[in-house]
Amino acid sequence: MSPSIVDSIRESLHEAMHPDQFGVSAQTASYAVGALSAGLVIFLTYAIYLHPLAKFPGPKKAVISNIFAFRTIVSGRSVWIMRALHEKYGNVVRWGPNEISFGTVDAWKDIYDRRKDGKVLIKGPNFYRVDDTVRAKHSVTATDPEVHAQMRKMMSHAFSSKALLDQEDVIQHYANGLIDAMYERCNDGPTDLVDFFNWTTFDILGEMALGESFSSLCNRKTDSWITIVLDSVKFTAWGVAIMKIPLIVHFEKYIFPKKVLEAGYTHALMSKKKILKRAEMTPTRLDFASYILAKREALGITDWELAAHANALIVAGSETSATTMNGLFNYLTNYPDVYQKLKDEVRGAFSVGTDITAAKAASLPYLTACIEETMRIYPPIPNGMPRVTPPGGCTIDDQWVPGGTTVAVHMWAVTHNPKYFKDPNRWLDKENTTERLDASKPFLVGPRMCMGINMAWIELRILTAKIVFHFDFTMVDQRNWCEGQNCYTLWAKPPQKMVGTPAQPSLL
């Protein structure tokens, strides 16, 4: 009987792979296998038991290569994987060959604030990378402390108390537009609050950073650029993951999902086009762009750098505030007694919606507590923001960490650490017992903390007070919408369907 095709292939493979074919004896081959095995054993022993970071607990598969970290990031499950690691291994976890994650309050200042010598840990260059789409650094991605200090100084005028007054006008305008849109839509059945908050916060930042809003609120439709910006956030996560495996960096454009790659490129090009258009305009009030453009010549800011700054402001300032609003309305509708107490406070303080200002809303303690607690339980940037230890190493949370190690506080792990919260998954109660709220640093601490914190508080207070004053909302399927979401640096938020009933007869 003639041999089958499979047998012939097997035969030829055997011949091809036979050591004698290469002039190598069976004995030499077995030495090679032995050497490789010994090498592997030495490598594993070093990585797991002898490496300078070996004293930190963590899963073995995570410390022998960066594949675990790569997969964690691109899976979108990073928040939940890191939470599980902290639950299993404790407050300090080695989750990559060279990466340590902390889940403690003291680590906040040790990693992000100035140290005794006045220096600060630099931002992890692989996380805050600049690729050929973005092409220029901005205040979030600048890793060199001196370059960053210059950018921060340039931008600081845009966040001064004087500038905040202008910002409040813009916020009021779009907050009223949001209330109008909600009144109009509330008779049509459930509405998606993810859309509503994205429209509002992106319109505000579009106007402030690029001189024109995205017109989403007035069109009642998500502008295509907002979709691109949100898709491009995934781009950032893929970029970070790929840097973990240097061998594949050169092939990244073949590895990136096509949609994510296109979003990154389109976003960068559109930012540049829009900011150059804004540079030609004479605005009626000072916006963020005014302060950056004023320094354009003196600091030699290139077109791509202009685009990078605008881009950073839009991504940093809009999605984060929108996420907080969605988180807040999720928890309010899940905790009716808290919602009722907040309605009593807001409706007791104002008789008409037009009276609501940032200053008056700031005097309502329960309103502030609800927003703070939302950012604790559902932080808009829930993962760690990596920094690198100095060459000589340093102490973090009483533990010595060798130089060149990537370290971060995992936001979610510290804000859900049972050491600080009796029941970390319980939202604010009526008595407002928030326990260790200092564990929660949604805006970070130190010289790299959020520049827009005051603007964010104005926005969050005005939007919350106005919506609570005008509407009663109920979640359509009464579930915890925040639970189990995917995250690619920022949350990948599913639709948030709610029914809004007007609580006031008049519109504004």
Residues that bind ligand HEM (CB under 6 A): 139-140, 152, 313, 316-317, 320-321, 324, 380-381, 385, 442-444, 448, 450-452, 455-456
Closest contact distance (angstroms) between CB of 26 and ligand HEM is 56
Would you state the torsion angle of the CA atoms of residues 251, 256, 262, 263, taken in this order, to the nearest 10 degrees?
-130
* Nearer residue to ligand HEM within complex by CB, 308 or 356: 308
* Nearer residue to ligand HEM within complex by CB, 240 or 381: 381
* Nearer residue to ligand HEM within complex by CB, 186 or 204: 204
Structure tokens at 159: 């966040």
User: In whole angstroms, what is the distance from residue 290 CA to residue 269 CA?
Assistant: 20
Closest contact distance (angstroms) between CB of 94 and ligand HEM is 22
What contacts 145, CB < 8 A, 6 or more positions away?
Answer: 119, 120, 122, 447
Phi, psi of 478 (to 5 degrees): 50, 40
User: In whole angstroms, what is the distance from residue 225 CA to residue 144 CA?
Assistant: 31
* Nearer residue to ligand HEM within complex by CB, 313 or 369: 313
* Nearer residue to ligand HEM within complex by CB, 140 or 342: 140
Indicate the DSSP class of residue 159: G
Closest contact distance (angstroms) between CB of 107 and ligand HEM is 15
CA distances to 68, 262, 380, 414, 481 from 484, rounded to whole Å, are 20, 27, 14, 17, 8
* Nearer residue to ligand HEM within complex by CB, 64 or 450: 450
Closest contact distance (angstroms) between CB of 458 and ligand HEM is 9
* Nearer residue to ligand HEM within complex by CB, 64 or 241: 241
CA distances to 99, 272, 311 from 268, rounded to whole Å, are 30, 6, 8
What contacts 121, CB < 8 A, 6 or more positions away?
Answer: 111, 112, 115, 387, 388, 389, 390, 394, 407
Find where tokens 């409040």 sit: 168
* Nearer residue to ligand HEM within complex by CB, 296 or 347: 296
Runs of H (alpha helix) within 315-449:
320-334, 336-349, 358-362, 365-377, 411-415
Closest contact distance (angstroms) between CB of 492 and ligand HEM is 17
Number of neighbours of residue 472 by Cβ within 10 angstroms: 14
Beta strand pairing call for 191-192 and 497-502:
antiparallel
* Nearer residue to ligand HEM within complex by CB, 186 or 455: 455
* Nearer residue to ligand HEM within complex by CB, 64 or 496: 496
Closest contact distance (angstroms) between CB of 444 and ligand HEM is 4
User: In whole angstroms, what is the distance from residue 269 CA to residue 261 CA?
Assistant: 13
Closest contact distance (angstroms) between CB of 68 and ligand HEM is 22
Structure tokens at 6: 């499979």
* Nearer residue to ligand HEM within complex by CB, 401 or 490: 490
Closest contact distance (angstroms) between CB of 70 and ligand HEM is 20
Taking a C-beta distance cutoff of 8 angstroms, is the pair 375, 442 a contact? yes
Indicate the DSSP class of residue 76: S
Closest contact distance (angstroms) between CB of 390 and ligand HEM is 18
* Nearer residue to ligand HEM within complex by CB, 63 or 216: 216
User: In whole angstroms, what is the distance from residue 172 CA to residue 466 CA?
Assistant: 10
Amino acid at 281: M
Closest contact distance (angstroms) between CB of 31 and ligand HEM is 50
Structure tokens at 220: 């009642």
CA distances to 51, 69, 93, 383 from 243, rounded to whole Å, are 21, 11, 21, 17
Closest contact distance (angstroms) between CB of 493 and ligand HEM is 14
Structure tokens at 460: 């969050």
Residue nearest ligand HEM (C-beta atom): 452
Q: What is the CA radius of gyration of the chain?
A: 26
Closest contact distance (angstroms) between CB of 375 and ligand HEM is 6
Closest contact distance (angstroms) between CB of 266 and ligand HEM is 21
User: In whole angstroms, what is the distance from residue 349 CA to residue 385 CA?
Assistant: 39
What contacts 131, CB < 8 A, 6 or more positions away?
Answer: 239, 264
Taking a C-beta distance cutoff of 8 angstroms, is the pair 456, 164 a contact? no
Find where tokens 């540049």 sit: 272
* Nearer residue to ligand HEM within complex by CB, 64 or 328: 328
